Amino acid sequence: MNSSIVQLLASEKLNGDNYEAWKSNLNTILVVDDLRFILTEECPQTPASNANRTSRKAYDQWVKANEKARVYILANMTDVLAKKHESLATPKDIMNALKAMFGQLEWSLRHEAIKCIYTKRMKERTFVREHVLDMMMHFNIAEVNGGVIDEANQVS
């Protein structure tokens, strides 16, 4: 695990009040570590003893990614929330349970993020880097909640 992922994990543990920012950070971590697929793809069937190496490798890769993503999620929340969700087998199950507990309606979040994108102005005497990172966060929130942000929308 590289140091930027460790910093992102340590920066904000899920406590309930920060669900959207936490979810955005987690999505970033999963993308950087090529684990995002674990939230969308089902586990391949357990390969039979005579299965070929490709199917066995796909299964093993999914199981390893599942455990890694699950650890990232549980380590990045308060002890009470981690204890409540540790019995869930997959990151997808954990995220669905957290969404039911803390999530707002996706359309509301998407609308709010897009509104921020279109109305955001760089403040005087601030760094461009901070502004760009803030905009990237809003783009990420919009996309995670079903917003399609194509190149034309990004430019405008």
Residue pLDDT, tens place only, 97-152: 998 888 766 667 777 888 888 888 888 888 888 888 888 888 888 877 777 777 77
N- to C-terminal Cα separation, the chain? 36
Position 33 scores a pLDDT of 87
DSSP string, 87-121: T-SSHHHHHHHHHHHH---HHHHHHHHHHHHHH--
- Residue 11: pLDDT band with limits 50, 70, 90: confident
Looking at residues 32-44, what average pLDDT do you find?
89
> What does each C-alpha distance from 33 to 29, 68, 103, 104 come to in angstroms?
6, 10, 24, 27
Residue pLDDT, tens place only, 12-24: 788 877 887 888 8
Are the CB atoms for 14 and 81 separated by under 8 Å?
Answer: yes
Position 151 scores a pLDDT of 75
Position 4 scores a pLDDT of 66
Residue 6 pLDDT exceeds 80? no
